[in-house]
Amino acid sequence: MSNSAVLPIATVGEKILAQHAQAVTVFDVSIQSLADDMLTTMLAANGVGIAAPQVFSSAAMFIMASRPNPRYPDAPNMRPVVVINPRILETSTQMELAEEGCLSIPDQRVKIWRHAQIKVQYHDLNGNLISDILVGFVARIFQHEFDHIQGITLLERSNMPEQQRPDTVN
């Protein structure tokens, strides 16, 4: 990460935030470089996750890196995980309401319902297919960043009727 850069963060109203991200088909040094820059950008902004569209890239990828910080003092510690071409395979019926912030919507917090547990699948930086079950705050991060690659921000999510929410993509 020594050569990584802090990238500009797209804010609400930018076209890229409303677009569906494109699947990553080549797992090469450019994807690693983008991941490094995204992590550096997220850490500099005190985030716990960041999606490629937030740094003006159309790649279907995001980073989850929960840790306590000024924006999320009670966040659990986890190593950074690069998530490429994610899918949500199953969702729990149990929902949890919590306040979320977004690097693309500075200085705003919105209460959002999220599934308490999700079964997911994604590729890592080497193109390996990973399956996992996520719960609690980490599941919330995944769902938040997954929304970004679907072209959805917190503002749209909070105003969507339940039946129109694209929580599960097969």
* Chain centroid offset of residue 128 CA: 19
Q: What is the DSSP letter of 59?
A: B
DSSP state of 129: E
Total number of domains in the chain: 1
User: Hey, which residues are catalytic here?
Assistant: 145
Residue 45 covered by a domain? yes
102 among annotated binding-site residues: yes
- Cα 46 → chain centroid: 14
User: Is 87 within the bounds of a domain?
Assistant: yes
Measured CA distances, 77 to 5, 32, 106, 139, 153 (Å): 23, 22, 23, 14, 24
The answer as to whether 9 is a domain residue is: no
C-alpha–C-alpha distance, residues 121 and 13, integer Å: 30
Residue 7 lies in a domain: no
| Domain membership of residue 59 as a residue range | 15-163
pLDDT tens for residues 22-75? 999 999 999 999 999 999 999 999 999 999 999 999 999 999 999 988 888 888
Q: In what order do the strands lie in the sheet with 49-51?
A: 49-51, 61-64, 81-91, 117-123, 129-135
State yes or no: 148 annotated in a binding site.
Answer: yes
The CATH number covering residue 32 comes to: 3.90.45.10
Q: What is the pLDDT of residues 100-158, one digit of tens each?
A: 999 999 889 999 999 999 999 999 999 999 999 999 999 999 999 999 999 999 888 88
20 belongs to an annotated ligand binding site: no
Q: Is residue 112, in this structure, part of any structural domain at all?
A: yes
